[in-house]
Amino acid sequence: MITKMEIDSTHDIFCRNDVLNFEKLTGANYVLGGATWLASSPSDIESMTFVSRFVYDVVQRNLSGYQFWLLIGTTALQPDTRITRHKKLWGALKSRGIEIIDGIDAQEVTHELDGGLKFFGAVRLSESSLKSTAKAVMEEHCSYFLASPNEFSIRDLLNIGWSGDFFFNDTSLLAYAAEHEVVLFKPLGEFDDIGERGLGAIGKPQLLEKLLI
């Protein structure tokens, strides 16, 4: 049973801090704030479900007109075969036992690369979908959550793509968050042996402040 959650924040992820430290990414000409929500439980799924439900509720309450999305992709390059193209992203995830219950407006795109294919998808979440979503992000590293305005075009992010390596390779997503009124959340704690799981968020500092009230 989870009895408490730790919440921390920083106004600038590119300055040395103990929350989300992107200090090594030099040369950024924009400022992004960061925040983390972490909880401990013997069950990883319970921790992630608890935190994602808490953050979902805060987004619904404090960011009027915003939606909450799951962004998920294939971590590894997939072989360019007839079966792969038929299953695409959601079919491949379902065959692995990953299915988003009560998700809305599922979308996906295919990126054709040298040596194979990568798939990127998004599905809008409801409160009842959060437990199945927690399982998905625990099993698929190439995943994020996103809070975005109702009129936001999620297709733009699908066309950009991502790796899931929050601190190293997804600088295009950082720049996108700096230019738009969105908050990007990365599941944290996948290498933690004591069951601490949660979300790390980046976004414009004034937008993140609304989630910390």
**How many distinct structural domains can be found in the chain?**
1
* Sign of CA pseudo-dihedral 154, 160, 164, 169: negative
Q: 151-210 pLDDT, tens per residue?
A: 999 999 999 999 998 888 898 999 999 999 999 999 998 645 555 889 999 999 999 999
Q: Where are the alpha helices (DSSP H) in the chain?
A: 44-62, 82-95, 130-139, 155-160, 171-179, 205-209
pTM of the model: 0.92
Say what the pLDDT of residue 105 is: 95
- Structural domain harbouring 87: 5-209
Q: 42-79 pLDDT, tens per residue?
A: 788 889 999 999 999 999 999 999 999 999 999 899 99
- C-alpha distances out from residue 1 to 41, 83, 172, Å: 6, 42, 38
